[in-house]
Structure 1
Amino acid sequence: MTRLLPGILAMAAIVVASNILVQVLFGQWLTLGAFTYPLAFLVTDVMNRVYGVAAARRVVLAGFVVGVICSFIGTQIQGEFGPIVTLRIAMGSGLAFLSAQLLDVAVFDRLRAGRWWRAPLASTLVGSSVDTLIFFSVAFSGTLAVLEPGNDVSWAGEMLPLLGVGPQVPLWVSLALADWSVKLALALIALVPFRLIVGRLTAQLA
């Protein structure tokens, strides 16, 4: 377990930072949390490559527990329009994180024997896509209002041009697409630190 501590601490730090920074807007479609959360996939992939599937899953579960704690704290903090974390956001966040990260672990493991970049890139792209779909659907889609009838998210369903320039879609779709685009870009950028960190850790274990 000691060898996993850096990964667990890194995952916990990313989850905590993302829960805080998601409250800070960045432009019209994003929050600062969109730039920190994707690093969770980097941590998972590094742990998977160096220590294996079981280790990666333990780090994911640790991150999930930290996320649940953050969500609970957020439900107790009142913002201008109520709790800063609603039940739907908490459910979407937890379900998206756990599903996407465990899927990332599974995809990575299936591809680990290929070229070094295939497993981290493919697993992150798949995991990020699932994460975005689950979170924004559960948290903001009007079709799932039954999850929290007392929470008015009609603002997220306002019909607006996609990212300000495309066809008319619900606002939450633009938010999801912007978030997903950042995840995809960071998946490519993260290949550099992935290669460097894995090389260093592997050398230390040799």
Structure 2
Amino acid sequence: METSPTSRTQPDTAGPAWADPGSGHYAVLLASISVVVILSNIGGSKGVQFGPIITDGGFFLFPLAYILGDVITELYGARAARRAIVMGFIAAVVSVICYAIIIVLPGFNDDYGIAKQSALETALGPVWQIVLAGLLGYAAGQTLNSTVMVLMKRRTLERGLFARLASSTGLGELVDTLVFCTVAATAIGITTVGQWANYTCFGFVYKVAVQYAVMPATAWLIKWLKRHEPSYRPR
């Protein structure tokens, strides 16, 4: 059973261990995931094509959000993971509001100022749609991802870390990619079902492949943090 986030001690029960999210490590992970979400949304507004493959400019960043989410969930539990998701949402929404203010502010009237205004409207204008897609996809996918990890940890405790990472990654990324690509497609210029299928399939395969490829590094980071979190008491 997950402990209160304000408690620095673990009860002597047979349940899974969680660290206190009041630590500096949690703050760093929370800040990192918020930055990744914001940058992914900016990059996601640009359509990218490698030969027959269709993706967006945020494709190389977004898997990091799930990797960080896995680390947070494994160490701090579902409640701390939900807090990270909410903070990522807030950061994304605030960024969209800031972009809108920047766009409506009166600029210079010379040729350079007019060109700069047009470029900002083109680059940052569609970001709200990417953020909406990201919020819906990330909420569904990351929530499922965290739930699977927590449920499996309650059954296996400290054993089976790789199984938890692999299982939660596949399910979470599948739901996230379907929702995100469907909502975001028109923002990057996708107009046909074939393009959408290309975009969605590549996105899912790429994200899962990246997370599986770096799984040994993710597991190492989790184990390192467990050793250096004073409030973490493995069972």
Q: So what's the TM-score if we normalise by structure 1?
A: 0.77
- Post-superposition offset of 1:30: 2.2
Indicate conservation of the 8 Å contact 1:125/1:187, yes or no. no
Q: 60, 71, 77: which one pairs with 1:52? A: 77
Q: Is the radius of gyration larger for structure 1 or structure 2?
A: 2
Q: 16, 20, 24: which one pairs with 2:38? A: 16
Structure 2: gaps spanning 5 or more residues: 1-21, 104-119, 231-235
Residue 187 (1) aligns with residue 233 (2): no
**CA-atom RMSD in angstroms:** 2.5
| Larger RCO (CA within 8 A; separation ≥ 6) | 2
Q: Could you list the per-position Cα deviations for residues 104-162 of structure 1 after superposition, in whole angstroms to 9, with x for gaps in the alignment?
A: 1101111122511111111111111111111122233xxxxxxxxxxx7795233xxxx
Residue 6 (1) aligns with residue 28 (2): yes
Matches within 5 A, 1:1-206: 1-3=22-24, 4-23=26-45, 25=48, 27=50, 28-74=53-99, 77=103, 78-80=120-122, 83-86=125-128, 88-112=129-153, 113=156, 115-140=160-185, 156-158=190-192, 169-205=193-229
Rounded Cα–Cα distance in structure 2 between residues aligned with 1:36 and 1:190: 14
Distance 1:46 1:84, change over 3 A: same
SS in 1 for 2:127: coil
Indicate conservation of the 8 Å contact 1:75/1:85, yes or no. no
Indicate conservation of the 8 Å contact 1:103/1:123, yes or no. yes
Q: Which residue of 1 aligns with 2:112?
A: none
Q: So what's the TM-score if we normalise by structure 2?
A: 0.69
Q: Could you list the per-position Cα deviations for residues 60-110 of structure 1 after superposition, in whole angstroms to 9, with x for gaps in the alignment?
A: 211121122234445565444982325x43322211111111111101111
Rounded Cα–Cα distance in structure 1 between residues aligned with 2:201 and 2:229: 40
- Post-superposition offset of 1:14: 1.1
Structure 1: gaps spanning 5 or more residues: 141-151, 159-168
Q: How many residues align?
A: 184
- Post-superposition offset of 1:18: 1.4
Q: Which residue of 2 aligns with 1:144?
A: none
Rounded Cα–Cα distance in structure 2 between residues aligned with 1:184 and 1:107: 16
Rounded Cα–Cα distance in structure 2 between residues aligned with 1:153 and 1:84: 6
% identity of equivalent residues: 23
